[in-house]
Amino acid sequence: MSKIRYDFLHNEYVIIAPERLHRPNVSLLKKREKIENIAKCPFCKGNEALTGQEIFAIYKNTADKSSWQIRVIPNLYKAVQIETEFKIQREGFFESINGYGAHEIIIDTPCHNCTLADLKIEDIKNWLKTIAFRKADLTKDRQMKHFIAFKNSGKRAGASQEHPHTQIIALPIVPKSKIDFLQRNSEYYQKFGHGILEDIIYNEKIAKERVINEQGNFIAFCPYASAFAFEVMIAPLKNLFDLNECTNEDLRDLSLLISETFKALYRELGDFDFNISFEFAPINNNFEDEAYMQNLKANYRFYIRIIPRIFTLAGFEVTTNMAINPIMPEECAQFLRGDER
């Protein structure tokens, strides 16, 4: 029997409809063919000249530029660009801003065919450190208001390059959905003394049935109102406002939990497509978010959202902005924990 659940975090309803799983056109992704010929891959070692000027890198040996473990480069197909003048334009009732911002690529690893399940814990830790470093650096530009880090893997998730990579975008505006959450979270904090995510985590720990695993100060669980089958959220168990607040031990625990979560996802789903998003608070004030920034360190926790793209979105989702998820999150968590069934 289907259920309509309310997603308190994103302020939207989700329909959990197990009956939809048995539609004739539904099937999990088949295993993708791996490309072994990497001579033309711009993200592989030896092809650094194809990627533009390096912004940041971590090397095994700083004297040997070919020993890089992770690189940050400009996105050659920018949505926004730092070279553009920041300028607001008005055309009568309408308003626009020049396409000012930053759009960068993190090449996660030299390994062309590696997944997050294949990477060593130290490699994942370097990935997290790189995201944190670029966030701190771009925050110095006071015209940047919001920082976004996300990863597309596979065609269904919108990836145009097979080599593992992550995208970073910094914008001079804050998305309206984020403003909506900041307002609701601020009101919740004024009423209860803590943020929405803190209560969600507390209640998930009590319920237990959707929790996958815990590691140090972090928890992985399938949200109560998961919009996607096998959706996973990883969040701090304590108030960690930002990745840059994490200690080395925190980063190692988080890396281990990410690794274990992806090992479980690949075990259950095979070679699946997915998106990852890092959900951060705005990085600098503007007139829209100024009222909500004062108590952010007390009421906001960053979190990571892992979205497997194993089913296709259709007209209902596009029309209503509501999701239909054909698998109960309780079942997904059970599978990912490896419980006997």
Tokens read off for 290 = 């100024």
What is the value of pTM for the model shown?
0.92
Question: What residues are paired with 219 via a beta bridge?
Answer: 214, 235
CA-wise closest residue to 27 among 231, 265, 306, 312: 312
* Domain 50-337 annotated CATH 3.30.428.10: yes
- Residue 23 confidence (pLDDT): 44
Sheet order of strands, 3-7 included = 3-7, 12-16, 323-325
Question: H-helix or E-strand containing 303?
Answer: strand 303-308
pLDDT one digit per residue (tens) for the chain, 341 residues: 788 999 999 999 999 988 656 543 444 544 455 554 566 899 999 999 999 899 999 999 988 888 999 999 999 989 999 888 888 888 888 988 889 999 999 999 999 999 999 999 999 999 999 999 999 999 999 999 999 999 999 988 988 899 999 999 999 999 999 999 999 999 999 999 999 999 999 999 999 999 999 999 999 999 999 999 999 999 999 989 999 999 999 999 999 999 999 999 999 999 999 999 999 999 998 877 788 888 888 999 999 999 999 888 778 887 888 889 999 999 999 999 998 65
- Residue 225 confidence (pLDDT): 96
- How many C-beta atoms lie closer than 10 Å to residue 337's C-beta? 16
Q: How far apart are CA 127 and CA 125, in angstroms?
A: 5
- Residue 339 confidence (pLDDT): 82
Q: How far apart are CA 97 and CA 88, in angstroms?
A: 4
Sequence ranges of the domains in the chain = 50-337
- Give the three-state DSSP class for 53: coil
Q: How far apart are CA 263 and CA 218, in angstroms?
A: 17
